[in-house]
Amino acid sequence: MTSTQQKIQPVEGLAKHSDEELAARAKAMESILVEKGIIGTDAIDYMSSVYENEVGPQLGAQVVAKAWTDPEFKARLLADATEACKELGFSGMQGEEMTALENTPDVHHLVVCTLCSCYPWPVLGLPPNWYKYPAYRARAVRDPRGVMKEFGLDLPESVEVRVWDSSAELRYFVLPMRPEGTEGWTEEQLAGLVTRDSMIGVGDVRHPEG
């Protein structure tokens, strides 16, 4: 496979196509299950609502915002992310053992799962398609700066990049740096700046003026 074929941007293009295919397959399977009486539409609607509104990166954004405004919580988060997230009510399957990695002006963290798609569901929801693709899993280790550039994050050479391999035993997420110009902001306002990609490490938080 050439380097061009392995770029993340083309992979994201494929991910969009795959999303459409997966949606069609899921709809077909849903119809079959409902028709055979294996599951009801009310159960499907409930689970869809949970993953759309209650489980997702918006929960991780709340964790980050809390850490940005509460030094004591931040210390607990970095010492034991699993227990600290439980304080906010975020725990469960695929989040039994989590570790938060703090970005600093000198060190930037990036998370990958080289074997499959291990991911901290309680704070980030379900993993995006590109996170599961071989191109990302391989290139994130070999060329993390190149991967981040394709997501729009171009770090200075002076910043050390550390790549962390999530597993079934331990799942990582990133605590990004609080952006300048947010002094006096509420946790809710700050959470609105935190992106899923910034908690994986491939992207950054939104600019306060954006």
Q: pTM of the predicted model, to two decimals?
A: 0.79
Nearest CA among 186, 174, 180, 183 for reference residue 206: 180
Q: What is the pLDDT of residues 140-153, one digit of tens each?
A: 999 999 999 999 99
Classify 177 in phi/psi space as left (phi over 0), alpha (psi -120 to 50) or beta.
beta
Q: What is the CATH number of domain 56-200?
A: 3.90.330.10
CB atoms within 10 A of CB 11: 19
Q: What is residue 50's predicted lDDT score, i.e. its pLDDT?
A: 57
Q: What is residue 210's predicted lDDT score, i.e. its pLDDT?
A: 61
* Spatial separation of the C-alpha atoms in residues 118 and 169, rounded to whole Å: 9
Cα torsion through 208, 178, 150, 130, rounded to 10 = -110
The C-alpha angle 80, 81, 87, rounded to 5 degrees, equals 100
Token look-up 């700046």 returns 193
Residue 185 has pLDDT above 90, yes or no: yes
What SS3 state is found at 172? strand
Q: What is residue 43's predicted lDDT score, i.e. its pLDDT?
A: 64
Instruction: Provide the β-strand partners of residue 107.
Output: 160
CA distances to 14, 91, 109, 118 from 152, rounded to whole Å, are 18, 31, 15, 24
Residue ranges covered by each domain of the chain: 56-200
- State the average pLDDT for the chain: 86
Q: Which residues are catalytic?
A: 113, 116-118
CB 119 within 8 A of CB 113: yes
Residue 209 pLDDT class (50, 70, 90 cuts): confident
Structure tokens at 189: 């306002």
